[in-house]
Amino acid sequence: MLDVEAALAAAHAKVGNISQEDARIISEKASTDFVKLDRVWEIEKSTNHDIMAMVKALTEQCGPSGDFVHLGATSNDIVDTVMAMQFKNALAIIEDDLILLQNAILDLAEKHRDTVMVGRTHGQFAVPLTFGMKMAVYAREIQRHIERLREARPRICVGKMSGAVGTGAALGKHASELQIEIMAKLGLGIEEASLQLVGRDRYVEFVSLLANISSSLEKFAVEIRNLQRSEIGEVAEAFDAEKQVGSSTMAHKRNPIKCENVCSLSKIVRGFIIPTHENVPLWHERDLTNSAAERFIIPHVSILVDDMLVKMSRVFAGLVVYPEKMLANIEASRGLIMAESVMMALVGKGIGRQEAHEMMRKLSLKAADAGAHLRNQMLADEAISQIFTPDEIDAIMDPKSYVGQAAAIVENTLKDLR
């Protein structure tokens, strides 16, 4: 707030509304070296107005030059411009966090480019992919968030200095010039047309961006939690076997606590979406129904998303991957995950796609009902055995041969994002 007051005084001096000396004194005293928070609180007890308390505390320090403190401004010229400065700082931190997380994910994508695992849809075995490709998908998602943040920054980091209802009347004939000068000094964009407030659609965009990021983080965390389930066991959060305790009673437990924490916090972040939208419709040029809500919403979503991003970066950086368990789970499918591979091979032999699908549907159901391996069911099937040799069946049934462009997707992602 003091920085904004100093910029306001400097701009007034530049256009000739006040003297350079008065502006110098105001700028010098607009510091917590002189304006103490305890004094501001003391004044606020009597004024019951936080901004006026700050203005009075600064005025006390400026002597006669104090007559020009807050000249032509309304409270929300200060509040909303300060909020834009905080948005700017917060977005810089969030962007750094996103890049940190993306790098941790890219390291896994590179390391596990060819680590084959079973894909799952509807919670059931699907077809093979690689763990590296899964990580490449996550890295691309983070990149989109980085791009959204950079695109949104100039719309979000916008301040105003245009008075009580946005006309700039109290700022005089140089009102537009003053606003341009102040925001340039503070490194902010300008609200070209406002009432008393910066448009709250900008706040909606900020909170929505962070809520979107939180949803991705929960998505990643849910996947790790599922893959860490005892019956799957393909990955796990790092666990300090020397000191860490998983349960107060079950001594064997190694729980995905960071991922669970992220899933819990993401619900809180998204919960702020509705009140942020409800802060947009205000009475006439403004009322105060947005103010208290924003004092909770903006700090909480910013701090929580920062915390969640750092946690997930640590999770991915320390993630333990078990390729041998991935292969074991592939084997547990008894070849059923290769039914599509066989179907496509049948098409390659001249069988119609629909006929090939029906053949494999029946064989797969028969193998599943019998608890038999699909390969053995195929070898025993007269029609299939006339089309493929046993060696051809083995090749078609190899999961490593049916991951399509997975490796190329990882390589392209690394090339684009590193």
Annotated catalytic sites, by residue? Answer: 122, 247
> At 244, phi and psi to the nearest 5?
-70, 140
Residue corresponding to tokens 């619900």: 267
Structural contact between residues 1 and 69, judged by C-beta atoms closer than 8 angstroms: no
CA dist., res. 262 & res. 258, Å (int): 6
- From 138, 148, 141, select the one nearest 95 (Cα to Cα): 148
DSSP state of 372: -
In this structure, the strands spanning 235-236 and 124-130 are unpaired
CA dist., res. 28 & res. 36, Å (int): 14
**What burial class does residue 335 get, using C-beta atoms within 10 Å of its C-beta: 0-12 exposed, 13-18 middle, 19+ buried?**
buried
Long-range contacts at 263-267 (CB < 8 A, ≥ 24 apart)? 263/218, 263/221, 263/222, 263/225, 265/214, 265/304, 265/307, 265/308, 266/214, 266/215, 266/217, 266/218, 266/221, 266/308, 267/218
Residue corresponding to tokens 């300060």: 82
Q: Count CB-CB contacts under 10 A for residue 341.
A: 20
